[in-house]
Amino acid sequence: DLMSADELRSQLFAGSEKAQFQLLQTLTQGGETVWDVLMEFLLKQQSHPPSLVEGKVYQILYTAHPHSEKVSTFLQTHFPTGIVPLKSEAGIDYIPLQKLLAEQNFLEADKLSLQNLCELAGASALQRKWLYFSEIERIPTTDLHTLDALWRIHSEGKFGYSIQRELWLGVNKNWDKLWPKIGWRTGRNWTRYPQGFTWDLTAPKGHLPLSNQLRGVRVIEALLSHPAWLKS
């Protein structure tokens, strides 16, 4: 059942996004031949913005890199900060977040994302360690796009604010319908932070990043209503 490098290459380059994903799911074994094709693919694509398929390929290579000097050198040479352009209008370094997401350390990535949002909202939010809804409009679109792209690209399109926004619009902005859908509430019970949440890709779509509801919905409402989501 093993596919030749040529077969893998042609299926990977030619397939629909769905077929590409299915193919990538089967590559659990890896090995130098598979990795060579994946490196070739990543180098040739370099789409703007990066696609979810490129994200998945990057993740496979990132997972392989401790086992292969060649993959390690390749990533270091061509994608030292990943495949998402880490643009920031606020001068924030998104490399630490990129690294946590590449490692699929979603708990720490979630904490860092909240900290980054606080930094973006200003000195008082950073000190307070939580956001006022009125501070959200100050957050630059560029930075929200970068945060969102990092989460989406490193989660096969499962996580990110724009994903949460789509789901929220899909339930006509009804929070009571959104919470169970994204696994934040079951019946009458809020999901407990942090151990109740699912910190891997088995989570429901839109599960991460978290937004604490202790002080009400106004912050997440402002975040999902930000003008950033109106332009692509």
Q: Which residues bind ligand UYC (CB under 6 A)?
A: 114, 130, 184, 190-191, 193, 210-214
Nearer Cβ to ligand UYC, position 50 or 206? 206
CB of 227 to ligand UYC, least distance (A): 24
CB of 201 to ligand UYC, least distance (A): 18
Decide if 97 contacts 147 (C-beta within 8 A).
yes
Nearer Cβ to ligand UYC, position 60 or 210? 210
Dihedral sign for Cα atoms in the order 19, 25, 31, 36: positive
Nearer Cβ to ligand UYC, position 13 or 193? 193
CB of 18 to ligand UYC, least distance (A): 30
SS3 39: helix
CB of 172 to ligand UYC, least distance (A): 19
C-beta pairs of 113-119 under 8 Å, 24+ apart in sequence: 113/147, 113/151, 113/209, 114/209, 114/210, 116/92, 116/143, 116/147, 117/147, 117/223, 119/90, 119/92
Nearer Cβ to ligand UYC, position 39 or 182? 182
Q: Which residue has the tokens 């040529």?
A: 6
Element (H, E) at 184: none
